[in-house]
Amino acid sequence: MIQKIVLITSEFPPLPGGIGNHAFNLVNQLVAKGFEVTVCTDQRSKNLQEDLQFDNELPFFVKRIKRYRIVFVTYFMRLVVFFAEVKNKETILLSGKFSLWSGAILKFFFREKRFVGILHGSELLAGNKLQQAFTKWSLKQHDDLIAVSHFTKKMALQLENSLSINVINNGFSSQFENDIIQTLNGFPKIVTVGNVTYRKGQQNIIKALPNLRKTYPDVHYHIIGLPTEKKNFIELAEQLDVLESITFHGAVSNNELKAIVSSCDLFAMLSQKLSNGDFEGFGIAILEANALGIPAIGSSDSGIADAISDKFSGRLVLPNDLESINEAVKEIMKDYEQYSANAKQWSKQFEWEVVIDKYLDLICK
C-alpha cells in the first residue's frame, strides 16, 4: 500500500526561498521513492496563475491557499485546507513557523497520525514573546522533530531543552555545470550567493577586503542576490575605500548565476546571528559550489558549520574575525588544488539521493 504524505510548508517555488527549495526537493525525492505526496502552501506570486502554471507541471498535487489582507482570515483558511488534506494521509510533514503551529493544533484532532516538524532555524525565535511561547509549545506536540543542522538543534534546545531532535542536513541537487564560464574581474574571485543582508554577512567580507588587498591586490568580491541592504554595503565599501573591488550583480537569471559561480575561486558565506534571533540554518549554496570544486569560507557560529569540513572542504571562522578571514583565504589559495578536490568529495554526502534515505529511515520506522 502506498503511504500518503502531506507536506505543509510556508514556502514553495516558483518564488525563491530556502525553506521552499528544501520542500520542493524533499517532495520530489519522496515521489521518486513511490510515496503519494500532497503539498499545502500559500499563493506566493502576485498573480495566482504564475503559481498554478508551475504547479501543473509537477508530478504531485499542490494546494495553494490565498493570502488575504486580514491575516486572521488567511490563518483560518489555511487550517480549513489543512484539515481537509490531513484526514486521508498517514504522515504530515511541517516546515515553517505557521506550519509548525498548525501541526500542533491538528494533532489534537488527529492523534493517530504522525506529525513530523522540520526546523530550519529562523522560525524558532521569530515574532514576539507570545509567538515564541506558542512555537515552544507547538514543538512539544509533534511526534518527531528534524533539525537541518546541529546549530539549529542547539537553538531549539535553548528554547525547550526537553525536546528530542534528529539532525538531517539539507540536501542539494547540483544545478551548475563546469562548462558555463563567465569572464570576471579579480584574483582570487570570491562570491556570495544570497539576499544582500546583514544576516547573510556580505558586510564581513567587505570589512576584510582592506587586509586581503595587501596580499592579493586584485582580489574581487562578487555579490549575487536581491539588493536589500546594497545601499548600506556600498556606503561601507566607500568608507573602507574598497568599492572598486566589489561587483553587485543583483538578482540574476539561473544561467547567469551558474556562470558567475562556476568562474569564481572561493565561495564565502559569513552569516551572523541577528539581535532578533534570526540565523542561518544551513548553507546549500556552499555545497552547490563545492560540487564544482570551489572551496568555501563560512561562519562557525551558524548552521553553516555543518556544511563545511574545516581545513578539508574549506575554512570555518567567526564572521567578524577579520584576521581569521584573511588567513583562511591565504591557506586555501596556498593549497588550492587539494582543497578543490576535497570540496568535490565532501559535497557528495549531501546530494539529495543520499539525504532522502535518512528521511525514509525516520518516516518509515
Q: pLDDT tens-digit profile of 56-78?
A: 999 999 999 988 889 899 999 99
Check: CB of residue 176 under 8 Å from CB of residue 291: yes
Check: CB of residue 20 under 8 Å from CB of residue 12: yes
Longest dimension (CA), the chain: 65
Fold category of 189-349 in CATH:
Rossmann fold (3.40.50)
Question: What is the band of 298 on the pLDDT scale with cuts at 50, 70, 90?
Answer: very high
Distance CA 189, CA 200 (A): 18
Check: CB of residue 197 under 8 Å from CB of residue 273: no
Nearest one of 200, 176, 185 to 249, comparing CA atoms = 185
**What pLDDT shows up at residue 69?**
87
Q: Where do the domains of the chain lie?
A: 4-167, 189-349
Question: What is the band of 175 on the pLDDT scale with cuts at 50, 70, 90?
Answer: low
H helices then E strands: how many in the chain?
13, 13
Averaged pLDDT for residues 32-55? 90
Read off the amino acid at residue 350.
F
Same fold, 4-167 and 189-349: yes
Question: What is the band of 2 on the pLDDT scale with cuts at 50, 70, 90?
Answer: low
Averaged pLDDT for residues 315-321? 96
**What pLDDT shows up at residue 328?**
98
Distance CA 177, CA 195 (A): 23
CA 251 to chain centre: 17
Averaged pLDDT for residues 252-268? 90
46 has a pLDDT exceeding 80 = no
pLDDT digits (tens, 9 = 90+) for 207-221: 999 999 999 999 999
pLDDT digits (tens, 9 = 90+) for 94-129: 999 999 999 999 999 999 999 999 999 888 888 888
Averaged pLDDT for residues 176-198? 82
CATH architecture of the domain 4-167 equals: 3-Layer(aba) Sandwich (3.40)
